[in-house]
Every structure is written in C-alpha cells, then in structure tokens.
Amino acid sequence: MRLDRFLSETTPLTRSLAKKALKAGEVTLNGKPVKQPAQQISPDEDAVTWQDEPLELVGKRYLMLHKPLGVECTARRGLYPRAIDLLDVPRVERLQPVGRLDVDTTGLLLMTDDGQWLHRITSPKHRCDKVYRATLAEPWEGDTAAWAIERMAEGLLLEDDDRPTRPATLTMLGPVEAELAISEGRYHQVKRMFGALGNRVTALHRRAIGPLELAAGLAPGEWRALTDDEIARF
C-alpha cells in the first residue's frame, strides 16, 4: 500500500494533506523519517507514526446501536448529540448510518464503513424490510383497523410525492400500538403514512432491519459489533 493512502485511511488527513505531512517530516516509517508519498509499506509489518502517534489500519466495521431519544444520525454537529458520539471506536467519523432515524425515533441503527454492504441494505431494488413499532394518538379497532391494514397494503400516495408507497404490512398489536413493515426509506415515511390515514404517531421505535432484530438486552445508547453470521445475512 502507498504510504499516503495508508495515512489517509488511518488519520483524518486527506491524500493531499498526507503529502504535506510527509514533506513536513511528521511521519516516520520503522523509526526513520520518510517523505515519499509513493513509498510502499506493509500495514501488517511496518510501523508508521504521525506526529509520534502509532498508526494502525482499521478493517471494515459493522455495528449495531440502540439509538436513544434525542440523538441524530448526522455527521455534522448540531443541536443534538450524534449517533457516532456514542461509539468508542477508532476513526469513528468514517462510520455511516445504514438508514437514518429521526431525533425522536429510537431503536435499531446499523453503522458501517463498508459502502457496498450499506448499499445492499438501503438500495430500493433490494427491498429490505424495516419494521417499526408505533404508538398512535387515536385508537384503531375493528373496521377502522381492517381499513388501515388494507390501505397500507395497497400503497399510499403521500403529500408532495409523485408515486405511491410500496405495499406495507400493518399489524395492530392493540388499539394504539402497531407494527409497520416497509421496504422504503422516504422522508418521515412511517409518520406520514399514518398521518395520511388520519392518525398521528406519538412514539416510534425501529425493531428490525431485514432479518436482523435489535439485540435483546442492548440498552438505549449501547452498541456492539455484529457477528459474522449477522453481517452475512445481507
């Protein structure tokens, strides 16, 4: 691997900034200063430091986070804490959410730096279901519940959209408790779908993405790495 590429993957430096760091004498290779960006190294065998800090190449990462309330899924700092701020891992800024959750939505959030894996889950053509548990403002029972289930299954044309939603599966767990499985990720989609049928979501929790459910016992704000089996499910 070229040294400048290694630096760009193990530090916040871009390739161009890595070249400047090399020129400034900030980098050592096996204890000796090095300035050639094209220098070939073996990440497993060579010791590289930048500003006296040892560098280590981080492999692809796949994490499950139980996103709590009041946390946003953005890279930029804003009014709320970020999901990546809850993760104690190297180069955390490289991790991306696999489908965002609103600030007031809790539940399963996958994080990865593997772009291809992320695409397999989020691409509309793969139709990966996401299952949400919603608490509703108004009770749906009997004929009203049956009507809502049928309408969700048909697809809804939401305000400002030019095409209906894909068929979704609504399951009523109680008069004001429901689960909705959707295979898309439109803006505020779950809330807008219930709103289109005259109801309002007061609480929303993502329970599953495809074949992967939020791990039992993982408290809000806690995370863990996915197992090889879980990664291979997508």
C-alpha–C-alpha distance, residues 209 and 160, integer Å: 26
Q: Token pair for residue 119?
A: 């695409």
C-alpha–C-alpha distance, residues 56 and 36, integer Å: 19
| 121: phi then psi, degrees, rounded to nearest 5 | -85, -40
H or E element: which one contains 111?
strand 105-112
Other residues' Cβ atoms within 10 Å of the Cβ of residue 4: 22
C-alpha–C-alpha distance, residues 132 and 190, integer Å: 8
| 3-state SS assignment for residue 135 | strand
Active site residue 102: yes
Active-site residue (options: 46, 102, 104, 129): 102
Place of tokens 């996401």: 130
Other residues' Cβ atoms within 10 Å of the Cβ of residue 164: 11
Sign of CA dihedral 53, 54, 58, 63: negative
In DSSP terms, 179 is beta-bridged to: 133, 171
Residue 147's alpha-carbon distances to 144, 165, 172, in angstroms, are 5, 17, 12
Active site residues: 102
